[in-house]
Amino acid sequence: MFEWRNDKLINAHFNDFSVTRCRAIISLNFRIEYDELYKQTPIIILDIAYGEDEFEKIIKMEFYGVDSLKVNTSFFPYIQVMGFEINNIRDTGSEKKYEINDYEDGILYFVCDEVRIVAINEVDT
């Protein structure tokens, strides 16, 4: 089972990673990729600002096979998240494998088939 908090990129950049330090979504992109048979795969790319008091790092994540996207916020200057989590829901009988949400405020919600940690970068100052 994929546990995103134990991803090798996460472990390489953080000694004591905590989801409560995922503070804001500073970029949310949606695209559709097509395979050789023109089957569509909806993809969301999130850049999540991470830090205690200040934004220290940007975690870039990609989500494949996205469905049931809900965004309930204004987009200025970023989307603040107070309880970002990724849950494996395969055992619940769901067609999708993961549920992504902001459990505190309900700002963001979607389900998907695959989660990838793509990069972790320093915040440009």
pLDDT value at 2 more than 60: no
pLDDT tens track for 69-86: 998 877 667 788 888 899
Q: Where are the domains of the chain?
A: 4-122
pLDDT value at 7 more than 90: no
Of 77, 60, 71, nearest in space to 108 by CA: 71
The pLDDT value given to residue 125:
60
For the chain, the three-class secondary structure string (H helix, E strand, C coil) is CCCHHHCHHHHHHCCCCCHHHEEEEEEEEEEEEECCCCCEEEEEEEEEEECCCCCCEEEEEEEECCEEEEECCCCCCCEECCCEEEEECHHHCCCCCEEEEECCCCCEEEEECEEEEEEEEECCC
The model's pTM is 0.88
β-bridge mates for residue 88, sequence order: 98
Alpha carbon of residue 79 to chain centroid: 12
The pLDDT value given to residue 72:
86
